[in-house]
Each structure stands twice: as C-alpha cells, then as structure tokens.
C-alpha cells in the first residue's frame, strides 16, 4: 500500500483494522483470469473502531446505516486487472466514503427577504412589457 489513507485532518485508516478479501473478477479474460484473484473486497468495522473520534463514528453510523452489515462497511473494486491497483482503488474509495460520512453537517440557511426595490423594479418592467405588447394589437390600426 502507498502509505496511510487519510480520512480528514490527522485521522487515517488504520491498516490493522482493514479486512481484505480477494476473489476472481467477473467478465471476459484470457488464460490469466482463471488463476488470479484480482477482485478486492475491503471491510472496515465502523462500530468497533477506535481510530475515529466518537462524534465522527456516530455521524458515520447514522449516515451509512443503509450500507452497514453488523456495523461493517464493505467496498468492492474490480475495475483494474491488477490486484494491487484494485487494493489502492478500494482503500481510496473507503477513505472518501468515510470522509463524506463524517463531515460536519452544513450550516443552516439564513432566511433572507427579497428587497422591496427589486420587487418593485420587476413589477415596473413587467407592466412596461405588457404595455409594449398591448400596443402591438390590431385595435387601433384601421
């Protein structure tokens, strides 16, 4: 692996808590495909980890509830022909997923009113446009 995969700040994925599984990728291939396990499944036990701060862990458990199986999040990668590149891809994908899931909630939107002058100008322009169109009618052309 090319170093620790940082989630955010100084928090990174601990290599000891990552569980790897390898299997044969689906799809067409040559003689090599029957003997190489290039598909990668990377699992991370989110419920039992000590690597994440408690607040982040609770946030991630709530946001990833649909993806978790017994508190474990799993990422699969089989887009590359090389097991090594699939390992890298799965680790990066898991780090990105955890970074998104542990991000703080966005600031609440402050309600603002449309300034009165803008509304008046819009109505004035609308009235002017209707006058222009009414002047194009056939009423006074005889």
> From CA 55, how far away is CA 9, in angstroms rounded?
15
Strands 11-12 and 6-8: antiparallel
Residue with tokens 């709530």: 62
Hey, CA dihedral for 10, 16, 18, 20, is it positive or negative?
positive
**Orientation angle between helical segments 54-63 and 83-101, nearest 10 degrees:** 100
DSSP assignment, residue 78?
Answer: -
Residue with tokens 């419920």: 47
User: What is the tens place of the pLDDT at every residue in 72-117?
Assistant: 899 998 888 888 899 899 999 998 998 888 888 899 999 999 999 9
Please give the model's pTM, rounded to 2 decimal places. Answer: 0.68
User: What is the tens place of the pLDDT at every residue in 112-137?
Assistant: 999 999 999 999 999 999 999 988 88
């Amino acid at each position: 692996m090319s170093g620790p995969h940082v989630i955010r700040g100084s928090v990174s994925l601990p290599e000891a808590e990552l569980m790897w599984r390898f299997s044969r990728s689906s799809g067409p291939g040559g003689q090599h495909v029957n003997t190489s396990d290039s598909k990668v499944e990377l699992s991370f036990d989110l419920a039992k980890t000590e690597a994440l701060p408690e607040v982040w862990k609770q946030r991630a458990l709530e946001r990833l509830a649909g993806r978790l199986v017994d508190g474990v999040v799993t990422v699969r990668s089989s887009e590359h022909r090389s097991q090594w590149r699939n390992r890298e891809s799965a680790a990066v994908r898991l780090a990105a997923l955890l970074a998104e899931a542990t991000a703080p909630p966005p600031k609440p939107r402050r309600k603002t009113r449309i300034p009165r002058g803008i509304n008046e100008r819009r109505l004035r322009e609308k009235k002017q446009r209707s006058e222009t169109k009414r002047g194009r009618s056939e009423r006074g052309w005889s």
